Structures are given as C-alpha cells and as structure tokens.
Structure 1
Amino acid sequence: MRYDWISITTDYGLSDGFVAACHGVLARQAPHARVIDVTHLVPPGEVSQGATVLAQTVPHLPESVHVAVVDPGVCTARRGIVVVAAGGLLVGPDNGLLPAAAEALGGIQRVIVLDDPEWHADTVSPTFHGRDVFAPVAARLAGGADPATAGSEADPSTLVRLPDPLVTVGTGWLEAEVTAVDRFGNVQLAAPGGTLDELGEDILVGGLRATRVRTFGDAGAGTLIAYVDSAERVAVAVNGGRAVVALGVAPGDTLRLAKRAATN
C-alpha cells in the first residue's frame, strides 16, 4: 500500500539540523509524500511524553507512515521496529513509544524488526537512527513496500510497553498521574474526563481551591480550573496563567483532586 503522508514525532528540538536531515531523507526517497511534523519538542529522552503526544495525535491525521524517535537507547540492544496497525504504520524504537499510538489506530496487527540492512542508509551512525534507519524505512513504506520485507516478524506480545499511568478513583476524590504539560502550562492527567463528574464544581486540586468549568473563559483571570481537555482527559489550568507553576508538578507526579466540603 502506498502512503501519501508521513508524520514525524521526535525530541530533536529545532536548534540543530537533525529534523532537516530526516526531512531530506524522506524528500529524496519518497518525494511524493507530504510530511506532517507532529512535534520535535518532546523533552529529551522522555519516552512516556512522546508516547502520549503520539497516541493523542495520530487518530486525527490522514492514513500515514508515522515515524517517532524518542530514543535514549539508540544503538543499544533495543530493537527498531515497524508496527502494522489497522489505520497506518508506525516506525521507531521498541522502547514503549509506539504501542499506545498503534492501539489508537485500531490495534496492532503485526510487528516487524528492522534487521535487514538493505532497508537502512549505506552508513548508519550509532547515534542517529532517525536519519539512517527510521527515515529510510518510512520512505520505502510510503512508496508501497511490504513491511514484512523490512526484517523478521516478531510476536506483538514481545513489544516493550510503558507501565499504565496511575489512576485511582474513590468517593468524592481521584488521584491521577500527570501525563503531560503543554506549552501553556496546562496539566493533563491520566484520568478519563468522565471521572471529573463526581467531584462537582467546587474542587480541591493538590490542596488548592479550583472550579470545574467547560472552557477557560468560564472562570475569572487567575482562577485555577479543572476541565475535560481535547483528548478527553482531566486537566488543570489557570485562566491566563500556568497551572504547572501553581501546582509545582511535572509529568510522572501524582495529583489528587477532591470534592470540596461545603462550609457554612
């Protein structure tokens, strides 16, 4: 199957030529394909954040070959893989980055280990598999090559998976892991949006008073708010401010939300 779109998600940043080099490989080897840059600002080496961004984004993209490279274990024993999903292909390291996105694309159908050097660049840098392995593979797949010919097939059960983020729900409270902080300082939690319904409108978030709202403008400037974000997850923000600063949290931390007791 030929793909007209390739997406790229990395932690490469924008101050070096790493992203441009990957674009160049794709442009030379798959000139027909249009490239969507999901983000290149995943914090360096933060696989879980890259996995979150990728899984929440790919369902909204056209059917594509999705390249994702957040790869602190580059050129170690970790495998390079193609994951064949119902709604597209994912190419990247086998370090937990890809499975959630594959599930978001309809589920994992096959896994191919990229162990055929004919699919790679002539010279492969031990520190830049994004350019020399994953981009060349993505380009060939976009051109219609059969993923099965990229290497040896692996049992999907052998994929490295990240641990499920913590979500605990009680009567009038919930505790959930921080999964992401966006550029506005809004804090996304692992808890599904519906868990917020049990807490009412007057909530304590990390011990601070917050208001349940539908959108930012429903609260006054500087107000701490809890809401359901565009990924259908519980999130916390400050209208006109940065909730991450107010709460002092980071991805991986656990945050408690509780119904605020009525006072006389």
Structure 2
Amino acid sequence: MHHNSMITLLSDFGDRDIYVGVMKGVIAEINPELRLVDLTHQIPPQNIAAARFCLMNAYPYFPDGTVHLAVVDPGVGGRRRAIAVEFANGFLVGPDNGIFSGLLSQSPAIAVVELTNSDYWRTPQLSKTFHGRDIFAPVAAHLASGVPLKELGNPINSAILVPMDISGCILTETGIAGSIQYIDHFGNLVTNIPGNYVQGRTWYVKAAGLTITGCETYSDVKVGEAISLVESHGWVEIAINSGNAQSQLQIQLGDRVELAFES
C-alpha cells in the first residue's frame, strides 16, 4: 500500500500549552519527513461530538493514505481502548470513544486494531494523562511511515467500537425534528438535519421560539437577521447575517430544532 506520509491532527488541546507541539516533536523524532496538517486544536474541552463532526467533514479533502490523529480523550488512563482503524481513504488513530463514528458511518472500517504493541509507543511506561504523546502520536508516525496496521496490536471487530448517538433527526408530521450538533467560530448553529431534505422546497426552521425562513444565501436577508440555509458541509444551519447566532439567539449545543415545510 502506498503511503503519502501525511498526518492530520485534531484535539481539544488549544494553543496556549505545549501539548500540540510535543505531539509534533514525537512524530518528528520518528520521521521528520512526514507532513503535518492541523485540522483544529480548538475543539471545546472534552467535546467528543464536536470532534466527531469536524473529522467527518474534513476527511474527504485529503489524499488517500492520510493518517488522521484525533485526541479528544476524557477517558484517558481509564478503560477505554486505544485504536487504529483502516478505512477506504486512509487511517484513524485515537481513543475508542465515538470520535470516529461520524466518519465511519460514511466510510466503514476495513480493519481495526487495539494499540497493544508497545514497540510502537514512545515508551512502555505510559503517563496516565497524555496518551496523545505516548501512544497516539508515535503510532500515527509509524503508520504514516509504512508500518502495517496489523503490526500495531490485536485485531478487533469494528462492530464493537463505541458508537456515538448524535440523537438522529426524526421525521415528524410537519417536517423533521433535530438538534444542534456543532457551533462554529462564527456562532453559526449546525443542525444534524441533512440539507438534501430541503431541495426544491419552501422551508423554515423553528428554534428558541423563532421561525427562521430557509434561504439560499446570507444575502437573502438583511444584516443582523436570522437565516436558515444549507451550508458547504451539507447540513441545515441557523445563522445571522454578519452576526453571532449562538449569542444572539441563546441556542446551545444539543438544543432541539424543527424543520418544517410550507404546506
């Protein structure tokens, strides 16, 4: 299998501390030729759902063979498994806590191993708190350098991977009920309602006691007005033209929304 030697990094580590830099140092010690791309390190702390969303929307834009290293790991040091996964377009390395469930729902796992082979860890003496440094970063570096997946540990059945129930949207008599699955840097509220539901129809979203008309583009409403639209990631989103929908509408992650059609 060709490997194109690219690793993406996604975490909730932020950029104040040295954690991200240390992971890159560990990777460089193993193979300084690898190309590293930061997807984001601003995932809200411990927010596996946000990490799942970002990874699911990012992976299609990378070359085949890319290794995606994702560390949002509230269960670090506990009983959760450390895993590596092969899928059609590359590999995933991180904790088995649902972080990969969105991507794997679109591109299923081909093979999964639990990372039990300490030869590929930074050291067999693991910290209790920083497996990104001690297991995940070195494993990603070895994988991107051509080490076969099966060398990294014991095979496990992909059916036992931890799922994440982003309580799916439900068809109702008038439309679709869903929830907010992600809030971006601009305060845009991304629902879990797929945009293909609304093609060619007149629709609106009900949220926080408001009725927000579905439009094609931001410019369809005045500056400061709320709008619903299908964003580039393919999900129905609530936004405010040139404003922050999260703070102005006081809507949070997980809040319920309903999409309805003009009869």
- Higher deviation after alignment, 116-125 or 126-135: 116-125
Provide TM-score, normalisation by structure 1: 0.92
| Pair 31,205 (structure 1): closer, same or farther in 2 beyond 3 Å | same
Work out the CA distance in 2 between the residues paired with 1:152 and 1:99.
20
Query: CA shift at 1:248, angstroms?
Result: 1.9
SS of residue in 2 equivalent to 1:257: strand
Deviation at residue 160 of structure 1 after TM alignment: 0.5
Hey, what does 1:50 align to over in structure 2?
A: 51
- What is the CA-CA distance between 1:166 and the residue it aligns to? 2.9
Once residues 252 and 211 of structure 2 are traced to their aligned partners in structure 1, the CA distance between those partners, rounded to angstroms, is 19
> Does structure 2 conserve the Cα–Cα contact (< 8 Å) formed by 1:83 and 1:102?
no
Letter in 2 for 1:8: L
CA distance in 1, matches of 2:204, 2:136: 48
SS of the counterpart of 1:191?
A: strand
Partner-residue secondary structure (3-state), 2:69: strand
153, 165, 168: which one aligns with 1:166: 168
How far apart, in 2, do the equivalents of 1:89 and 1:4 lie? 11
> Aligned pair in 2 of structure 1 residues 8, 259: CA closer, same or farther (>3 Å)?
same
The 5-angstrom pairing of residues 198-217 of structure 1 reads 200=202, 204-217=206-219
Residue 138 in structure 1 maps to residue 140 in structure 2: yes
Question: Is 2:208–2:251's contact at 8 Å kept on the other side of the alignment?
Answer: no
2:7 match: 6
The one-letter amino acid of 2:149's match is: P
The match for 2:153 among 143, 151, 154 is 151
User: Which structure 2 residues correspond to residues 228-243 of structure 1 after superposition, within 5 A?
Assistant: 228-243=230-245
Pairing 1:45-124 to 2, within 5 Å after superposition: 45-63=46-64, 64-104=66-106, 106-122=107-123, 123-124=125-126
Q: 1:169 to 1:197 in 2, by over 3 A?
A: farther
Give unmatched runs, 5+ long, in structure 2.
Answer: none
- Give the C-alpha shift of residue 197 in structure 1: 4.5
| TM-score after normalising by structure 2 | 0.93
TM-superposed CA distance for 1:158, in Å, is: 0.8
Shift of 1:249: 1.9
1:246 Cα offset (Å): 3.0
Change beyond 3 A, Cα 1:185–1:164: closer
Identity %: 33
Determine the C-alpha separation between the residues in 2 that align with 1:3 and 1:72: 31
Mapped partners of 1:176, 1:223: distance in 2: 22
Q: How many equivalent pairs are there?
A: 260
Aligned mates of 1:236, 1:198 — CA distance in 2:
18
Contact preservation (8 Å) 1:213, 1:226: yes
